[in-house]
Amino acid sequence: MVTLGTGIGSSIFYRGRLLPNTEFGHLEIEGREAEARASDAARQRDDLSWKKFAKRLDRYLEVLTRHFWPDLFIIGGGISKEHENYLPLLKIKVPVVPAQLLNEAGIIGAALAVRYEP
C-alpha cells in the first residue's frame, strides 16, 4: 500500500499481516527523497503533467519492486481520487490499483490494524 499526498506513506502486508514501521517515502531516488519527487505535493509544486508525474511514480514503484518483489501496489492518499489520470500511464509490470476507499483507505486501515492487533 502506498499513499500519495503531502508525502508518501507506505505499508507492507505479508500473508495478511502488517509489517510495522515502514517508511519508504524517504528512500533516495536520483539524489532526492522519493517524497520530493513522487508525492502529490511534488506534482503540484513542480506543476507536472499527469504523464510526467506517472514517469516519476513509475521510477519510485520500480525501486520498491527491486527491493520487495510485491504482487500488487494499492495506491491511496489524496491523489488516488484522480487515479484515472495517471494509473493508465504507468509502465511498471506489477499491477497497480487504486484503493477502494481512495483517500480514506490509510486512515481506516490504520484504525482497523490497531483494533485487531493482539
Which secondary structure element, helix H or strand E, spans residue 116, and what is its range?
Answer: helix 105-116
Confidence label for 91 from pLDDT (cuts 50, 70 and 90): very high
Distance CA 54, CA 86 (A): 6
Q: Is 29 exposed, middle or buried (0-12, 13-18, 19+ CB in 10 A)?
A: middle
* 46: DSSP letter: T
pLDDT at 10 over 60: yes
- Maximum distance among all alpha carbons in the chain? 44
3-state secondary structure of 51: helix
* Apex 37 CA angle, 61 and 51, nearest 5: 70
Scanning the structure block, which residue is given the C-alpha cell 505499508?
A: 11
β partners of residue 73: 96
Q: How far apart are CA 107 and CA 5, in angstroms?
A: 13
Q: What is the reported pTM? A: 0.85
- Each residue's pLDDT tens digit, 50-59: 999 999 999 9
Q: What structural domains and CATH numbers belong to the chain?
A: 2-116 (3.30.420.40)
pLDDT band of 28, cuts 50, 70, 90: very high
Lowest mean pLDDT among 7-11, 32-36, 45-49, 72-76: 7-11
pLDDT at 86 > cutoff 90: yes
